[in-house]
Structure 1
Amino acid sequence: MNYLKYHLLAVLVTLFVAGSFISSEKLSGVINPFSLTLLRFVIAAAALLPFVLIKVQYRKEIIKALPRSLIMSLFFAIFFICMFEALKTTTPLNTGTLYTLVPFLTALFSIFVFKERITKKMLLVYLIGSAGTCWVIFGGDIKALLAFSLNSGDALFLAGCIAMVCFSISMKLLYRGDQMFVIVFCTLVGGALWMLLALLIFNQPLQWHLLQSNLWLHMGYLALFATLASTLIIQKTTVILGPKKVMAYIYLSPVFVAFLMFFIEGKSIPYIVVPGMLLSLTATIVLQFQAQSNAIKNHMMAATD
């Protein structure tokens, strides 16, 4: 099987996620995070609905896929809630830094769930990747890095990062050969149901009318690209490549944020962050080759048993 296209798709998802940090910051604090996340899931599910209803086979699979999707969507929804809520008391700088822990946490969780190992070499590469992203985020300013401290928003987003790891692991664990449109649609519907339940429990209003026209553009991006397109791609690439390989591309997220800020808001990329970008890129490539090498070794060992 040609895995190149799946790696390219994983890079595309990373680009979508990088853009979501910018849009989420614009929306954070306008209305409550339960309502924002509900709207995000509703728009994405509505966009996918015609493609699911068009085939009888897809419609029949919904009932079978929905229970597993409810588990996956719970983790997915928790991540988005934590991100929106955390950005009220912390900054994209801090959340971007904490998000680089996701690849390492995914590898750590994979030890217990999939019996995978983390070698000393891979651990070093994870640290190099984190160092590279921190370099980019803090602009090579050592004083700013040393001044970094966790607040309540950071702790909340860290919980969201763990939820994202669980979402990635659960996709691989609960996949049963489902049609991708069906499993993604059920995940989006499940996320909307969890958010609706949260609104009722915490007695929160929708307040969708508070979104201005420019904010609807950001919501549209989050729903159609950072949620719908990303979920479709993540589901497919995680099943094919595995969660560790897909999550390793997160190290490129700050690099993409820097380029997006350059193209969208005209903010220049300082030369001081270039070494950090190269470190992040190197760590991502090494992790991909190392994971591929381990997969081949495991396959050969299984064949000889």
Structure 2
Amino acid sequence: MTEGRPGAPRTAMIARLAMLAYALIIAGSFSFGALAAPHVPSSVLNLVRFLAAFLLMAALLRIVRGPLKVPVAPWRFLLLGGLMGAYFVLMFIALQLTDPVSTSAVFTLIPFMAAGFGFLLLGQRTHPVVLAGLMIAAAGALWVIFRGEIARLSAFHVSTGGVIFFIGCACQALYAPLVRLLSRGESVFEFTVWTLLGCTLCLLPFAIPQLAETDWAGLNWVVWGAIAYLVIFATAISFFLLQYASMHLPSAKVFPYAYLTPSFVIVLEAGLGHGLPSLAIVAGAALTVLGLLVILLGRD
């Protein structure tokens, strides 16, 4: 645990800022990912982003630390990479069976599941104030997802795709406490590199059949730019930020920042000239921010 150590408040603050940056980066991935998705199959796109991010981070690590050494108990990174790979694979399978709104709604369960796994694996107890903040932030995120329309919310039902994505969300929720549990003293940089490799290896069987079918030569510079954003920011940097936060924050306080992603998407879309949202959606975004403020006030 970070708390109680010298410099703990500063470290925890850096971890919180890391997750704010994480939410902003993921928000940008929606816009850039939409540019690449029609031209590259999802399984191939995910394999490329994780493989390229691994090679990039491994090269940087070699420059900083020297030749790479096989880590102790490498199975840890296959497990962690498998969890993240499962999340992405199941997400895309779910999107083929249900709509994005339904999957987004299921996504709001991740912080609650992370809190549960944190208790089971690490004995982390979530303060009642933090739980209250989670519920407020989740309500705000749901309000944004359903565009502030009660009719959309009341029409929501759990489909087969929703169940599949729930399993994927459980994999991601389990990831945060496992990072702290499985750490053997590696730096965040090293941990990120080997986890990216583990994720790449786990995604490989799903992407190989479609690799040869992708018209790489026919991709324009806009698509390559989108892929570069996904590799550098939405994969390499976001993984680094997530690893750091997972090592220094309780599990219940890691993922709630992702609730800001819909709000950040709104701001980005408005900045791109795609129009402003309704006051109802802005109110939902404000509710999410309020929930996060409550979470910050709760004791770890």
Tell me the TM-score range normalised by the shorter chain. 0.7 to 0.9
- The Cα shift of 1:29 comes to 6.4
Distance 1:157 1:258 in 2: 24
Give yes or no for the alignment of 1:209 onto 2:218. Answer: no
Match of 1:104 in 2: 112
Equivalent runs, 1:56-95 vs 2, <5 Å: 59-60=68-69, 62-64=70-72, 66-95=74-103
Q: Is the 8 A contact 1:35 1:207 kept in 2?
A: no
Question: CA-to-partner distance for each residue in 1:233-281, whole Å, 9 max, x for gaps?
Answer: 1111211123221212122122112112212352312112222112111
User: Quick one: which amino acid aligns to residue 11 of structure 1?
Assistant: L
Which residue of 47, 51, 58 corresponds with 1:42? 51
Distance 2:212 2:76 in 1: 27
Mean Cα deviation higher: 163-172 or 84-93 = 84-93
Question: CA-to-partner distance for each residue in 1:45-104, whole Å, 9 max, x for gaps?
Answer: 1221221222555623x3326332111111111112222333334333333222111111
- The Cα shift of 1:128 comes to 2.0
Which residue of 276, 283, 290 corresponds with 2:284? 276
- Structure 1 unaligned segments of length 5 or more: list them: 296-305
1:9–1:152 Cα change, 3 Å: same
Q: Is the 8 A contact 1:133 1:252 kept in 2?
A: yes
Which residue of 2, 9, 14 corresponds with 1:5? 14
Size of the alignment, in residue pairs? 289
User: Quick one: which amino acid aligns to residue 248 of structure 1?
Assistant: P
1:157–1:30 Cα change, 3 Å: farther
Distance 1:205 1:50 in 2: 24
Q: Is the 8 A contact 1:82 1:157 kept in 2?
A: yes
Distance 2:170 2:35 in 1: 24
| % identical aligned pairs | 28
Q: SS of the counterpart of 2:74?
A: helix
Q: Is the 8 A contact 2:90 2:168 kept in 1?
A: yes
Which residue of 143, 154, 172 corresponds with 2:151? 143
Match of 1:159 in 2: 167
Question: TM-score, length-normalised on structure 2?
Answer: 0.86
Q: Is the 8 A contact 2:110 2:169 kept in 1?
A: yes
Match of 1:300 in 2: none
Give yes or no for the alignment of 1:128 onto 2:136. Answer: yes
Distance 1:155 1:219 in 2: 29
Match of 1:224 in 2: 232
Match of 1:179 in 2: 187
Question: CA-to-partner distance for each residue in 1:112-141, whole Å, 9 max, x for gaps?
Answer: 112233465544433222211111122211
Which residue of 5, 15, 30 corresponds with 1:21? 30
Question: TM-score, length-normalised on structure 1?
Answer: 0.85
Distance 1:265 1:193 in 2: 39
Q: SS of the counterpart of 1:221?
A: helix
Q: Is the 8 A contact 1:96 1:254 kept in 2?
A: no
Distance 1:266 1:101 in 2: 29
Distance 2:225 2:296 in 1: 35
Distance 2:211 2:137 in 1: 41
User: Quick one: which amino acid aligns to residue 215 of structure 2?
Assistant: H
Mean Cα deviation higher: 122-131 or 24-33 = 24-33
1:68–1:166 Cα change, 3 Å: same
Match of 1:298 in 2: none
Distance 2:98 2:106 in 1: 11
